[in-house]
Structure 1
Amino acid sequence: MKSSQQRRHADAVWIKASRCNNGNCVEVANLGQGVIGLRDTKVAGGPVLEFPRDAWNAFVQEVKDGAHDPRIT
């Protein structure tokens, strides 16, 4: 029997990252209740990292701003 978390992951609509290449991809999904899921595309039934929506949105904004780009000094 699947846990409620496993059902939530299985029922989610997963979106592959737009910068996916060579099969090294991640997928993201809205898991409901203010939770965003992140998983490895190659292991669809594997572990899922879960983040509060506010934390995920802050991370995405930081990426857009270049805060995590090692090329930016």
Structure 2
Amino acid sequence: MSDCLAQHDLRWRRSSRSTGMNNCVEAAPFGDERLAVRDSKDVSRPPLRFTAAAWTSFVAGLRRGPVS
């Protein structure tokens, strides 16, 4: 995926909990079960790219909280 594609052709979504002040992340599905993630404060930077499994694992880890 080129950065040009990431900026113009993807359908970016924000969390419904976002305050609307560009202080969140945005996500967009692309390709075959992949996800692009970017910082809404600086959309000119290239997005991070994850497989669906990697993103699901990341979010599950956030929900569990810190490891003691």
Q: What do the CA deviations read for 1:17-66 (whole angstroms, capped 9, x no partner)?
A: 34434532111111222221110112223211111111001111222232
**1:10-21 alignment, distance < 5 Å:** 10-21=8-19
Task: Give the residue type in structure 2 aligned to 1:16.
Answer: R
Q: Which residue in the other structure is 1:23 paired with?
A: 22
TM-score (norm 1): 0.66
Q: How many residues align?
A: 65
Which is greater in Rg? 1
Q: Gaps spanning 5+ residues in structure 1: where?
A: none
CA distance in 1, matches of 2:53, 2:65: 18
**1:1-73 alignment, distance < 5 Å:** 5=2, 6-7=4-5, 9=6, 10-21=8-19, 22-67=21-66
Distance 1:55 1:42, change over 3 A: same
CA distance in 2, matches of 1:20, 1:39: 14
CA distance in 1, matches of 2:58, 2:35: 12
CA distance in 2, matches of 1:60, 1:28: 13
RMSD of aligned Cα (Å) = 2.3
